[in-house]
Amino acid sequence: MASCAVQKNPYATTNRSYQQQVKAYAEALRATPVLTPGADSLLMGQYWVGTTNFNMRKPNIVVIHHTAQDSTGQTLRTFTLPRTQVSAHYVIGRDGRVYHMLNDYLRAWHGGVARWGNDTDINSSSIGIELDNNGLQSFAEPQLASLLKVLAGLKKTYNIPTANFIGHSDIAPSRKTDPSVLFPWKRLADSGFGLWYDAGPLPSPDPAPPLPLDSLVALAGVGAVPGTVLAPVNTAVIDAQLAAANAPVSTFKPQEALRIIGYDTRNLPAAIQAFKLHFIQQNVNGPLTEADRRILFNLYKKYL
């Protein structure tokens, strides 16, 4: 008899809570607007007219985390306690087991205060994936294999752009450092999940040196006669001529490049650290080196 007993689901109680919340949201979706909301409201039409052309809103970003906890079980418990106020769509254990904790169309609480480009509500536009890892250990091969399968399904189902597979540290550079420097971002990029810089020697991000004064004068159409005083140079004309010739007029700006990629650069040192954590993965607390600048310049052009 003991061998025939059905093992009790330890998450039965929280699963019931999930079903109750989903039911409440379903009822809210089925509700139709009130036609007479009150004298102080907008003038409503005679009928409520429901369009026949709609579907579910879908995620457009995938954010990868490490749990910073000691086991998958600990993380599952954390995400099923109301007082923690934190969750994710997927939790992937070190053994490769995948726990899909929330419907992809619902909003998980995984990003916190975050920003990517102009998106300041990451939770409303993203899928959160937590990898069981304390932040000090390598990511297990079964875990990474399962992650790649999950990412492939998400990319295909929701048509998520390649560039929009990012890490928690990317969207919250002043607060978070996950996933750690041990996370294999290049392996993901090689599979189509996230961008990566080109292999081999990269060109310097610094453009050609500025033209000398006599060249600028020539571009502006000012005649230079030996022994005479030059008239003031019309800089507006010079800028127009340079632009028409596609000539560089300013040096490469790392802060602007980081912003174009998506980083919140209001805290520039934190943005640099997040960039190096993702793409350099060594000396992440140091300033940008010449090699780092070349990589940044290469990626910046890819994100344009």
How remote is the C-alpha of 227 from its chain's centroid? 60
pLDDT, tens only, 173-207: 999 999 999 999 999 999 999 999 999 889 888 76
Please answer whether residues 91 and 75 qualify as being in contact, where contact means their C-beta atoms are separated by less than 8 angstroms.
Answer: yes
Phi, psi (degrees; rounded to nearest 5) at 64 = -105, 135
Catalytic, out of 130, 141, 256, 290: 130
What is the model's pLDDT at position 213? 42
- Read off the pLDDT band of 40 (50, 70, 90): low
Q: Which of 132, 130, 193 is nearest to 163 (CA)?
A: 193
Q: How far is CA 4 from CA 8, 18, 23, 106, in A?
A: 12, 28, 33, 37
Mean pLDDT value across residues 201-227: 51
Query: Cβ–Cβ contacts within 10 Å for residue 148, how many?
Result: 15
Q: What is the mean pLDDT of residues 202-215?
A: 60
Q: What is the pLDDT of residue 150?
A: 98
**How many angstroms from the chain centroid is the CA of residue 272?**
15
Instruction: Kindly report, residue by residue over 97-144, the tens digit of the pLDDT.
Output: 999 999 999 999 999 999 999 999 999 999 999 999 999 999 999 999
Contact 101, 128 (CB under 8 A): no
Beta bridge partners of 98: 92
| 61-66 β-sheet, strand order | 98-100, 90-92, 126-131, 61-66, 165-167
Could you give the CA distance from residue 155 to residue 204 in angstroms, rounded to a whole number? 34
Q: Write down the pLDDT at residue 103.
A: 96
Average pLDDT over residues 284-299: 96
141 is catalytic: no
**pLDDT band, very low/low/confident/very high, at 24 (cuts 50, 70, 90):** very high
